[in-house]
């Protein structure tokens, strides 16, 4: 998948271990896993993703060599997993040093959920010799099933002893559920006269919708930035990245994005909204925008990434509303799976968007690495070759380019096609 670059950053390897002073590990501690379907096995093999010959890792740990400034954003769902409640409490002081996370079980809607989440933090703190309040906890998986703490407790020593400065891929595997592709990225950038690094990893494939996509996202950086500005940057960037992704219209209960900044790069501390803050925010955007694209590309059962860019709006908000309307349309998503240039479905989704613009000024183009075709001008269809359109739609990254006027507002949103496999995956998710 193409990596998009905005501004002055360089992409590097290492994921959450790219930043100086961060170690990670992931193990299989014994939480139950269902067998992979044939589709998942084939996808894993073709994408060099989760091994199909063994149970995957299910418990991950990320640790900083020193205490970090740390912030997070959380799901907007009224039902919230127990780890959300505990992590919110631990981050009240804006400090953290470790992240413990399990897959398989979401630890949500359980009478002992808070107790189990707190116990995970206690086990982590005890193994690492740090304060329990410096531990972020997260869980993902099936909702409403009691989380067995015994496998986690039994695996903590192995997990901690295996921490390494190149353990990012083991940790990444441990947070994946229905994901078929690993999602991690890292960048380096100059700020305050020093080279800083930032890396992130994400899980997310289904139950993904704007206003916090269903994801666990963990980002580390060695940049020195205040907690207040770290929160501001995260809150700003999530709005134009993860909050503009939709796979199926469902917003989950355990969504969390957390960022830890250790300051070990020894740059001049970022304490005001100046040029250095803009540099930092741009680096964070590069991380989260690319993770958002990876998540959309790996939507459950998906075969195509869909990127909708809307321009010419009076405001960015109008453009965003229209772009989201397009990428969330089930009819349009199904047409993309069928490689059918049914542009009327695009215009339909544009038309019911809750935004003000003149539908008679709407233009639509469809593009991929195989070409570009104009399908709608001034709200009406134009002649085009169905054969050429079919070829363009055979690509695995489809661009929908919509203009709604002559304004300066623009926005991008990401989604995927809707396939038979989406129903198969979710029809037997617990079995």
SS3 annotation, the chain: CCCCCCCCCEEECCHHHCCCCEEEEEECCCCCCCCCCHHHHHHHHHCCCCCCCCCCCCEEEEEEEEEEEEEEEECCCCCCCHHHHHHHHHHHHCEEEEEEEECCECCCCCCCHHHHHHHHHHHHHHHHCCCHHHEEEEECCECCCCCCCHHHHHHHHHHHHCCECCCHHHHHHHHCCCCCCCCEEEEEEEECCEEEEEEEEEECCCCCCCCCCCCEEEEEECCCECHHHHHHHHHHHHHCCHHHECCCCCCCCCCEEEEEECCCCCCCCECCCCHHHHHHHHHHHHHHHHHHHHHHHCCCCCCCEEEEEEEEECCHHHHHHHHHHHHCCHHHHHHHHCCCCCHHHHHHHHHCCCCCCCHHHCEEEEEECCEEEEEEECCEECCCCHHHHHHHHCCCEEEEEEECCCCCEEEEEEEECCCHHHHHHHHCCCC
Question: Where are the domains positioned within the chain?
Answer: 10-297, 305-427
Q: What is the pLDDT of residue 81?
A: 87
Class of domain 10-297: alpha beta
Residue-by-residue pLDDT tens, the chain, 431 positions: 678 889 999 999 999 999 999 999 999 999 865 544 555 555 554 555 544 435 789 999 999 999 999 999 998 778 878 999 999 999 999 999 999 999 999 999 999 999 999 999 999 999 999 999 999 999 998 888 999 999 999 999 999 999 999 999 999 999 987 788 899 999 999 998 999 999 999 987 544 455 554 579 999 999 999 999 999 999 999 999 998 887 655 556 778 899 999 999 999 999 999 999 999 999 999 999 999 989 888 766 678 899 999 999 999 999 999 999 999 898 998 899 899 899 999 999 999 999 999 999 999 999 999 999 999 999 999 999 999 999 999 999 999 999 999 999 999 999 888 877 666 655 664 44
Q: What is the pLDDT of residue 53?
A: 39
Q: What is the pLDDT of residue 52?
A: 42
Q: What is the pLDDT of residue 207?
A: 47
Q: Please tell me whether the overall predicted TM-score, pTM, comes out greater than 0.75 for this model.
A: yes
Question: Would you identify the CATH topology of the domain 305-427?
Answer: Ubiquitin-like (UB roll) (3.10.20)
Which of the residues are catalytic?
214
């Amino acid at each position: 998948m193409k990596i998009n670059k905005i501004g002055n950053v360089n992409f590097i390897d290492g994921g959450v271990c790219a930043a100086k002073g961060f170690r990670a590990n992931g193990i299989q501690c014994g939480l139950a896993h269902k067998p992979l379907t044939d589709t998942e096995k084939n996808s894993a093999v073709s994408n060099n993703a989760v091994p199909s010959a063994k149970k995957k890792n299910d418990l991950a740990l990320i640790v900083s060599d020193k205490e970090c400034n740390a912030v997070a954003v959380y799901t907007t769902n009224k039902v919230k997993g127990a780890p959300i409640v505990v992590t919110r409490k631990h981050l009240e002081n804006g400090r953290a040093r470790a992240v413990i996370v399990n897959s398989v079980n979401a630890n949500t809607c359980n009478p002992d959920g808070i107790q189990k989440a707190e116990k995970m933090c206690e086990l982590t703190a005890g193994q690492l010799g740090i304060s329990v309040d410096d531990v972020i906890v997260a869980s993902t998986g099936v909702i409403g099933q009691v989380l067995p703490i015994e496998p986690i407790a039994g695996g903590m020593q192995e997990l901690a002893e295996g921490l390494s400065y190149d353990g990012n891929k083991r940790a990444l595997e441990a947070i994946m559920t229905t994901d078929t592709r690993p999602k991690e990225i890292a960048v380096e950038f100059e700020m305050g006269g020093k080279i800083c690094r930032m890396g992130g990893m994400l899980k997310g494939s289904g139950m993904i919708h704007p206003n916090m996509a269903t994801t666990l996202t963990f980002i580390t950086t060695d940049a020195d930035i205040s907690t207040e500005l770290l929160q501001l940057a995260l809150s700003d960037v999530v709005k134009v990245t993860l909050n503009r992704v939709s796979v199926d219209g469902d917003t989950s209960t355990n969504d969390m994005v957390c960022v830890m900044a250790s300051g070990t790069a020894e740059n001049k501390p970022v304490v005001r909204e100046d040029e250095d803050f803009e540099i930092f925010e741009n680096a964070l955007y590069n991380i989260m925008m690319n993770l958002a694209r990876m998540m959309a590309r790996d939507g459950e059962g998906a075969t195509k990434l869909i990127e909708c860019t809307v321009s010419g709006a009076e405001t960015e908000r109008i453009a965003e509303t229209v772009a989201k309307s397009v990428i969330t349309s089930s009819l349009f998503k199904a047409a993309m799976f069928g490689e059918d240039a049914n542009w009327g479905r695009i215009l339909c989704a544009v038309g019911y968007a809750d935004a003000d613009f003149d539908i008679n000024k709407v233009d639509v183009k469809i593009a991929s690495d195989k070409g570009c075709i104009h399908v709608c001008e001034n709200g009406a269809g134009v002649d085009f070759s169905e054969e050429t359109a079919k070829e363009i739609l055979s690509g695995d990254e489809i661009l929908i380019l919509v203009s709604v006027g002559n304004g300066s507002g623009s926005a991008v949103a990401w989604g995927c096609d809707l396939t038979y496999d989406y129903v198969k995956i979710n029809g037997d998710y617990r079995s």
